[in-house]
């Protein structure tokens, strides 16, 4: 008797499961997934930032509601930060990659603007700080006079960053080396992060991002010694590499800002805001490596050389860098 009751219960349970399964099939028929071959990732750019604030403050700023809301997809702490504690360093994921993090602001790279739509933002804790003078104006910027310090990035942070870049590039294989860039590259008038100590060259040697070959730089340096390029060609070359720059043919403030961004990334030992022959040679070595099809046009001189061309004994400004 007990056996019969048990059998009956099992049958009822089986019937119930069949009914639920059948109901689910009916309920799910409104959507059917058939993956199309004709699609790709929305993400084509990776933007590196530094925070200036410590881990605790950065996490607060990047995750809590505020009157000036900002965020990033990832945050990487630095060792020895008391607000992080003693546990091993790990990557903090703050925003899903399928969603927009608010890290880029007004921004431009290689023909695209408003880059929150198509980028992934990575913040590294790096406590850059400045000492401001009580009085005085910086002769180069017209802003407050400040003395700034840029601490190095820790090996442990860079190891975590390369691990993260590996994973991101696997998910978004369309990101080109020239599209792994800094906040300063996409907003040269407003931002200088990740700053002059960020190891772009080391990352490139590990396979992440763009760098130039020294031998090619020497070739262009020799060429420009003999035949300096007019500034308009250099502005066009900066634009061809990806920067937002007006082609004015003049050394104006927007050009100085773009040159500063370029030097912060590719020549951080000589951030002068002046388009020197060395900077021009590095820029053309990059174009030679990544956009060789654009070289002919960029090297073509259409106007007679004038006084705005970079010259050998140009006055070198003191670096102006503000976080
Ligand atoms: Zn930034």
- For every residue of 97-149, DSSP letters joined together read TTS--S---S-EETTEE-GGGTEEEEEE----EEEEEEEEE-TTTSSEEEEEE
Active site residues: 123
**Is the same domain home to 139 and 283?**
no
**Is the same domain home to 150 and 294?**
no
**Is the same domain home to 186 and 218?**
no
- The answer to whether residue 245 is domain-embedded is yes
- The answer to whether residue 252 is domain-embedded is yes
CA of residue 9 to ligand 1 center, whole Å: 63
| pLDDT given for residue 258 in this prediction | 97
Cβ atoms of residues 162 and 33 within 8 Å? no
Cβ atoms of residues 89 and 79 within 8 Å? yes
- The answer to whether residue 195 is domain-embedded is yes
**Is the same domain home to 96 and 118?**
yes
Q: What is the DSSP string of 264-290?
A: HHH-GGG--SS--HHHHHHHHHHHHHH
Residue range of the domain that includes 81: 45-205
CATH of the domain at 249: 1.10.101.10
Residue corresponding to tokens 């927009």: 100
CA of residue 71 to ligand 1 center, whole Å: 10
**Is the same domain home to 255 and 157?**
no
CATH of the domain at 155: 3.40.80.10
- The answer to whether residue 276 is domain-embedded is yes
CA of residue 213 to ligand 1 center, whole Å: 28
CA of residue 289 to ligand 1 center, whole Å: 27
**Is the same domain home to 142 and 273?**
no
The secondary element (H helix, E strand) that includes residue 58 is: helix 55-63
| pLDDT given for residue 29 in this prediction | 67
Using alpha carbons, list the distances in angstroms from residue 29 to 17, 19, 20, 23, 34: 19, 16, 14, 10, 13
| pLDDT given for residue 1 in this prediction | 47
HSE-up (13 A, CA, CB side) for residue 150: 18
Residue finishing a domain among 185, 205, 225: 205
- Lay out the sheet containing 74-76: strands in order across: 92-93, 74-76, 119-124, 45-50, 180-182
- The answer to whether residue 247 is domain-embedded is yes
**Is the same domain home to 80 and 142?**
yes
- The answer to whether residue 28 is domain-embedded is no
Q: Which of 316, 226, 311 is nearest to 277 (CA)?
A: 311
Residue finishing a domain among 180, 205, 230: 205
Residue finishing a domain among 149, 170, 205: 205
| pLDDT given for residue 164 in this prediction | 98
| pLDDT given for residue 137 in this prediction | 75
How many residues are recorded in the chain? 323
| pLDDT given for residue 246 in this prediction | 98
| pLDDT given for residue 14 in this prediction | 54
**Is the same domain home to 127 and 230?**
no
Count how many domains the chain has.
2
**Is the same domain home to 188 and 161?**
yes
Tokens of 172: 């978004």
CA distance 291 to 286: 8
Using alpha carbons, list the distances in angstroms from residue 201 to 181, 271, 272: 12, 16, 19
**Is the same domain home to 51 and 146?**
yes
| pLDDT given for residue 314 in this prediction | 42
Over the chain (323 residues), the average pLDDT of each successive run of 10 is 55 52 54 91 96 96 95 96 92 97 97 97 94 74 79 96 98 96 97 95 98 98 96 98 97 96 97 95 98 97 60 41 35
| pLDDT given for residue 130 in this prediction | 87
The dihedral built from the CA positions of residue 289, 191, 272 and 239, taken in this order, carries a sign that is: positive
**Is the same domain home to 52 and 178?**
yes
Tokens of 196: 């002059």
CA of residue 122 to ligand 1 center, whole Å: 9
**Is the same domain home to 185 and 266?**
no
- The answer to whether residue 118 is domain-embedded is yes
CA of residue 134 to ligand 1 center, whole Å: 27
- The answer to whether residue 88 is domain-embedded is yes
Q: What is the DSSP string of 151-208?
A: PPPPHHHHHHHHHHHHHHHHH-TT--GGGEEEHHHH-TTT--TT-TTS-HHHHHHTTS
Cis peptide before 64, with omega less than 30 degrees from 0? no
| pLDDT given for residue 323 in this prediction | 34
């Amino acid at each position: 008797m007990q056996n019969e009751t048990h059998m009956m219960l099992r049958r009822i349970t089986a019937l119930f499961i069949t009914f639920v399964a059948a109901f689910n099939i009916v309920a799910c028929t409104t959507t059917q997934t058939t993956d199309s071959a004709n699609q790709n990732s929305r993400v084509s750019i990776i933007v590196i930032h530094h925070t200036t604030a410590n881990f605790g403050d950065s996490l607060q700023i990047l995750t809590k509601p505020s009157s000036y809301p900002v965020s990033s997809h990832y945050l990487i702490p630095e060792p020895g930060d008391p607000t992080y504690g003693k546990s091993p360093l790990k990557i903090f994921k703050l925003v899903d990659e399928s969603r927009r993090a608010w890290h880029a602001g007004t921004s431009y790279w290689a023909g695209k603007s408003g880059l929150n739509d198509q980028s992934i933002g990575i913040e590294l804790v790096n406590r850059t700080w400045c000492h401001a003078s009580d009085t005085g104006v910086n002769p180069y910027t017209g802003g407050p006079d400040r003395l700034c310090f840029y601490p190095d990035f820790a090996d442990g942070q860079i190891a975590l960053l390369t691990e993260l870049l590996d994973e991101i590039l696997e998910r978004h294989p369309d990101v080109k080396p020239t599209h792994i860039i800094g906040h300063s590259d996409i907003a040269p008038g407003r931002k200088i992060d990740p700053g002059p100590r960020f190891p772009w060259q080391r990352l490139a040697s590990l396979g992440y991002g763009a760098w130039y070959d020294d031998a090619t730089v020497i070739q262009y340096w020799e060429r420009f010694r003999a035949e300096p390029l007019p500034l308009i060609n250099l502005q066009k070359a900066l634009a061809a590499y990806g920067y937002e720059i007006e082609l004015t043919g003049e050394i104006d403030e927007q050009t100085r800002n773009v040159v500063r961004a370029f030097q912060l990334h590719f020549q951080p030992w000589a951030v002068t805001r002046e388009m020197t022959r060395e900077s021009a040679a590095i820029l053309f070595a990059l174009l030679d490596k990544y956009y060789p099809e654009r070289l002919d046009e960029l090297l073509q001189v259409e106007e007679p050389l004038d006084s705005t061309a970079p010259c050998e004994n140009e006055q070198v400004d003191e670096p102006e860098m503000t976080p």
